Structure 1
Amino acid sequence: MRFVALGDSLTEGVGDPVGRGRRGWAALLAQSLGGRAEFANLAVSGALTRDVAERQLPAALELRPDLVSVVVGVNDTLRGSFDIHAVARRLDTVYAAVTARRAVLLTACLPDPGAMLRLPRALATPLARRQRGVNEVVHVLSGRYGALHLHAADGRWTTDPAMWSVDRLHPGERGHRTLARAFHALLADAGLATGSPPGPEPQSPPPPRGAGAWWMATRGTAWLARRSVDLLPELLRLAAAEAGHRTPGATARLDLEASRAVTSALAGITPPSAPRP
């Protein structure tokens, strides 16, 4: 079996360092597929849905994969240029191309980044609305294309500090193992994973106390500064819009507008004429 992983830093393995490199849930899953599985990780930290559709997908198809994971979208919500219509079109393009090659497609919905970063409510609420929109698109398109879909947007694992790395945005080793085990269960149920699932317990020692503060003081501040160039102005605009709706039910109206945008985005994509094999 040839397994190719597409996506961003989550799939690249950020939060699960091994030696001088990274491992992550996809590599852990590849080791548990059984048989003589071949694995290629094309995920790149910071990737957007556009990067997956335009760069990673062509490279993946050249490898003639049997199994392709596509886990992406959080970085799109962290950009001032966020457009749910564009996200939907790109994901549809990727899913269609993968399934047209008769490869098994793995997808996942993901937690809200604003909550994970513990942003102030005025900033976190618009991000949560965006992530819900991306997750809804992933849900619907996964159903259309017969993907094996992992519901990872909520549940105990999202609130358990032991699952997360010091940056609060990426899983730590335990979190990556949890994702790998969940994907393995989906594949095993479909008769596609014959090996034993990855063990749940980390093999590396946990980060020392104060590691989170050290990360924020060194790398974290720089990361926030880079993201603030385009994200912060947009978040402030969205927060102002949220605050400007002071009448009762304002948040519900904004939620409804976002839901309508998702519906419009999905309506603009023609469903496949027949179920994908």
Structure 2
Amino acid sequence: MTGPRFAALGDSLTEGVGDPVGDGWRGWAALLADGLSHEEVAFTNLAVSGAQTRDVLERQLPAGLALRPDVVSVVVGVNDTLRCTFDIHAMAARLDTIYAAFREQGAVLLTACLPDPGTMFGLPGALARPLARRQRAVNAVVHALSERYEAVHLHAAQGSWTTERAMWSSDRLHPSERGHRQLAVRFHQVLVERGVATGTAPSAEPEFPVPTKSASLWWLATAGTGWVVRRCTDLLPQLVTLAVDEMRHRARGTSGRLDLRAAHAVSMALTSLSVQEQRPEAA
């Protein structure tokens, strides 16, 4: 008897950045795969560092569908919030297409909402608040679509794990091995409750020693610096504009308008998807 097929789609979080094993990354999805069944699980990790929802839709989705997975995870969105091209309407449409495609194949869909990058980076309030607002919008869309497609959804945007330093790697954005294990354990628990996972739960305790401070600094000085520079080049000019707008609204006491504007955009994005879904029936 063969075990289930598990495909993981997404960005650096699912690729496993922060959980080094040998010359590569392991991550929560690989840890979870081992606990899906007592039989051998056919696990394929299609996630790529830096991926946005467009990349998942155009590149990872076709490959994922070809695998015809029994279980598929789609965890993506943080990189979208870090780009000047951020568009919650387009994001919602892409995620809707991705989720629908896998559910039509009968796959069990795994999704998650995530902490906002501004808080994790420890940015000043005027810079962090716009990113937090974007991430809340993404999470709201993921929540709504997860419910629509009956996904196994993990609420990972809040909780003590987001503030425990041991859960995060030196870049403060990707989980450490302990953090990746926490995600795997929590997903496994929900899957057991759904009757999907039948294997042994992943261990919550790290297998490898915590990287030394010098090793962490070396990573930041090499790969980490490049990672930050690539995103800052794209995001920084707009982020400064957003911060100025944020400070202007706070000075006027009208910050609530920004939250209302973001909430309205989410509502309109989801409404648009519902209208498109109803059109074929009305024809």
- TM over 0.5, yes or no? yes
Please state whether the residue corresponding to 2:135 is helix, strand or coil. helix
Matching of residues 126-137 of structure 1 within 5 Å? 126-137=130-141
Return the alpha-carbon distance in structure 2 between the equivalents of residues 221 and 157 of structure 1. 25
In the aligned structure 1, how far is the partner of 2:215 from the partner of 2:20? 15
What residue number does 1:245 align with? 249
1:226 aligns with 2:230: yes
Following TM superposition, by how much is the alpha carbon of 1:55 offset from its aligned partner in structure 2, in angstroms?
Answer: 0.8
Match of 2:167, as an amino acid? Answer: M
8 Å Cα contact 1:114/1:127 also seen in 2: yes
Letter in 2 for 1:10: L
Q: Distance in 1 between matches of 2:89 and 2:179?
A: 31
> Matches of 1:199 and 1:219 in 2, distance apart?
29
State whether structure 2 residue 82 is matched by structure 1 residue 78. yes
After superposition, residues 1-40 of structure 1 pair within 5 angstroms as: 1-34=4-37, 35-40=39-44
Counterpart among 144, 157, 160 of residue 140 in structure 1: 144
Pick the structure with more helix per residue.
2
Q: Deviations over 1:139-172 (max 9, x none)?
A: 0000000000000000000000000111110001
SS in 1 for 2:153: strand
User: In 1, Cα distance between the equivalents of 2:124 and 2:214?
Assistant: 22
Please tell me the residue identity of whatever aligns with 1:130: R
CA positional deviation for 1:210: 4.9
Select between 212-221 and 38-47 the one with higher mean Cα deviation: 212-221
| SS of match in other structure, 1:39 | strand
Q: 1:166, 1:211 within 8 Å by CA — same for their partners in 2?
A: no
Partner of 2:201: 197
Uncovered stretches (5+) of structure 1, i.e. residues with no partner: none
SS in 2 for 1:122: helix
- Whole-angstrom CA distance in 2 between matches of 1:49 and 1:237: 24
Counterpart residue identity of residue 134, structure 2: R
Q: Residue type of the partner of 1:121?
A: G
SS at match of 1:3: strand
Instruction: Name the count of aligned residue pairs.
Output: 273
Q: Please list the CA deviations of residues 12-68 of structure 1 after superposition, one character each: whole Å capped at 9, or x if unmatched.
A: 010001011111000000011112321110000000000111110111111111111
Counterpart residue number, 1:265: 269
Identical positions, percent:
65
Q: Distance in 2 between matches of 1:223 and 1:189?
A: 38
Q: Residue 153 of structure 1 corresponds to which residue in structure 2?
A: 157
SS in 2 for 1:131: helix
